[in-house]
Amino acid sequence: MWQLAAKALLSGVLIAAIAEIGKRLPTMGALVASLPLVSVLGMILLWHARPDAENMAVHAEATFWYVLPSLPMFLLIAVLLRNGVPFWAALIAGSVLTVVLYIAMTQVGTRIGLKL
């Protein structure tokens, strides 16, 4: 149980640090947020729990493919905000787009042989 709490605390600290950096330096906050810190941390914890090279390879490859449908969300949010759409509406629209693209990735990916 303490390991789960430690993981949650570390994740929270990471998110808080990104928010604090972003308040002062928005571009630097975006750079730190874009780093695959959560993915790398997740892979380290997964490896610790189950040191299996094939399992890790499948995880890393699937992570790559699932990152792609999440990227348009950021552009959509930026465009909507610059066109006067309120933040929460832009965030919801970006999130809906991401869900739709995740579903599409899952359906298309399995058809072309991706392990998702």
- Give me the number of domains the chain comprises: 1
The answer to whether position 75 is within a domain reads yes
pTM above 0.85, yes or no: no
The pLDDT tens digits for 80-114 are 999 999 999 999 999 999 999 999 999 999 899 88
> 63 lies in which domain range?
52-116
Mean pLDDT across the chain, nearest whole number? 92
Query: Which pLDDT belongs to residue 81?
Result: 98
The answer to whether position 44 is within a domain reads no
CA distance 1 to 3: 5
Query: Which pLDDT belongs to residue 21?
Result: 92
Query: Which pLDDT belongs to residue 47?
Result: 95
The answer to whether position 69 is within a domain reads yes
- Proportion of the chain above pLDDT 90, given as a percent: 63
Residues sharing a CB contact under 8 Å with residue 17, sequence separation 6 or more, in sequence order: 32
The answer to whether position 108 is within a domain reads yes
The answer to whether position 8 is within a domain reads no
Instruction: Convert 28-43 to b/e letters by CB count within 10 Å (16 or more is b).
Output: ebeeebeeeeeeeeee
108: left (phi over 0), alpha (psi -120 to 50) or beta: alpha
